Amino acid sequence: MDLIIIAGMPASGKSTYAKKLSRAIGYPIIEKDNIKEELFDTLGFNCYAEKRQHDVAATAVLLRVADDMLACGQSLIMVNNFRDDAKEALEKLINKYDCRCVIVFFGGDSDAFYRRYVERDNAHARHRGHALQEHYPPRPGDPTEYEMTREEFRQKFEMLGMDSLQVQGGVRIMVDATEPAQINVEELNAAIVNALNNKED
């Protein structure tokens, strides 16, 4: 069975590409952001610490679901901007099932990712729980806008290893996602399939 991990910086195009890959090879996707959004809507949060706990819980659920799927022989695509502290759990999962694994890492210019991150939030292009920091849902009269500073982006993402995750046990494919429109999807799909086929079963 196959495990394809799509990791890398926020706003680097991971989710968009994962959908294209899923359609091409027929593997289901599990994505942490989708789990977090359900937690936001079901539980809300009253401070940043609570929001961070949703992130920790969503990662745990993501890994548990991946474990259950691999246990029954289901290949899958897993999408998340993993931090350095997820490295051990990912390696344990790969080794547990001895699956064919490819880690597709979306890297590039962090300043470009930051600009897209802010633009995406300003355009309300995703769930508001991701953008708001202090509480969700917004209370009557609350501003619903929040623009992360460049330094916050560095502290919350780059300093935690999301721009440099290294995982043992899988073939690593690097993608320059500075300009997502320039990614050749067909070539990347072929590289992933080729890497899987060249792994020992």
Query: What pLDDT digit, counting tens, does each position of 141-164 carry?
Result: 877 667 889 999 999 888 888 888
In this predicted structure, the answer to whether residue 15 has a pLDDT above a threshold of 90 is yes
Q: How far is CA 101 from CA 32, 64, 83, 158, in A?
A: 19, 17, 18, 24
β-sheet bridge partners, residue 4: 77, 102
Q: What is the pLDDT of residues 82-93, one digit of tens each?
A: 988 899 999 999
Residue 53 tokens read as 């706990």
Portion of the chain with pLDDT greater than 70, in percent: 98
2-198 has which fold? Answer: Rossmann fold (3.40.50)
Average pLDDT on 34-44 reads 97
Among the residues of the chain, which ranges form H helices? 14-25, 32-43, 48-71, 87-97, 110-122, 128-131, 150-153, 185-198
* pTM for the structure as a whole: 0.92
- Residue of 51, 62, 60 lying closest to 128 (CA atoms): 51
Please give the DSSP secondary-structure letter assigned to residue 180. G
